[in-house]
């Protein structure tokens, strides 16, 4: 996700990049991750423990494909330019989409979704501005922790029977890491901009 395999792709340099056909196994996993978001939504809207368990399992599988497509691209196929752009976008779609569906169903507060969306937009815009200057902002420890915390939070809300205090605690941790990583990226981005 933005702090995981997607960021790893974004950090690949021109010197190490290979350009295989974009239609490959790694990118198919990326597309699958996006395609599973509406499936999760339909299952959650359907309601019932059975549908919730399916939504939980599909989300876990989709989150796992982020590591799988990154590994396949780096070790077996090669990183494509399309994959560098699509992979982090798919990560954001999975997390934000799942959170938005849960908020729509009143399972979690909208303000948490808003914080995460604003952070993702801000960091994406900053990265694009730096990229136009020829500067690549790589992933950080905060970014990776943010991704893990968001996945854990969504997992807790999807898991049938999970205690509400656990869900809220996981969500608050995810929001804190989201804010911390956003501030860290802004600070590091300003330093990189001055040095470029």
Q: Helix 25-46 vs helix 81-104: angle between axes, to the nearest 10 degrees?
A: 10
Residue 10, domain extent: 5-195
User: For residue 168, what are the CA distances in angstroms to 41, 49, 119, 155?
Assistant: 21, 20, 20, 12
pLDDT for 27-59, tens place per residue? 777 888 889 999 999 999 998 889 999 999 999
* Mean pLDDT of the region 156-181: 95
Of residues 90 and 97, more confidence is placed in 97
CA–CA gap between residue 150 and residue 41 (Å, rounded)? 17
Full DSSP string of 138-173 = ---HHHHHHHHHHHHHHHHHHSTT--HHHHHHHHHH
Question: How many domains does one find in the chain?
Answer: 1
Q: Which helix (H) or strand (E) holds 101?
A: helix 81-104
CATH number for the domain harbouring residue 70? 1.20.120.1760
DSSP code for 23: S
Contact 10, 70 (CB under 8 A): no
Full DSSP string of 27-80 = HHHHHHHHHHHHHHHHHHHH-SHHHHHHHHHHHHHHHHHHHHHHHHIIIII---
* Mean pLDDT of the region 118-142: 81
123 pLDDT tier (thresholds 50, 70, 90): confident
pLDDT for 59-79, tens place per residue? 999 998 877 656 565 665 556
Is 159's pLDDT higher than 70? Answer: yes
* Mean pLDDT of the region 146-170: 95
13 pLDDT tier (thresholds 50, 70, 90): very low
């Amino acid at each position: 996700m933005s702090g995981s395999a997607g960021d790893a792709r974004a950090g690949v340099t021109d010197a190490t990049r290979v350009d295989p056909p974009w239609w490959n196994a790694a990118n198919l996993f990326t597309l699958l991750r996006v395609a599973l978001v509406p499936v999760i939504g339909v299952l959650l809207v359907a309601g019932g423990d059975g549908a919730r368990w399916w939504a939980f399992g599909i989300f876990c599988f989709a989150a796992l494909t982020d590591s799988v497509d990154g590994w396949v691209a780096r070790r077996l196929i090669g990183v494509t330019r399309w994959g560098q752009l699509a992979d982090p976008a798919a990560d954001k779609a999975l997390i934000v989409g799942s959170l938005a569906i849960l908020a729509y169903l009143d399972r979690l507060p909208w303000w948490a979704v808003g914080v995460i969306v604003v952070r993702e937009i801000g960091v994406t815009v900053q990265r694009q501005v730096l990229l136009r200057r020829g500067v690549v902002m790589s992933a950080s420890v905060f970014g990776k922790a943010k991704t893990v915390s968001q996945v854990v939070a969504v997992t807790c809300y999807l898991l049938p029977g999970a205690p509400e205090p656990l869900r809220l605690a996981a969500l608050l941790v995810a929001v804190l890491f989201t804010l911390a990583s956003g501030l860290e990226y802004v600070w590091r981005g300003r330093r990189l901009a001055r040095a470029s």
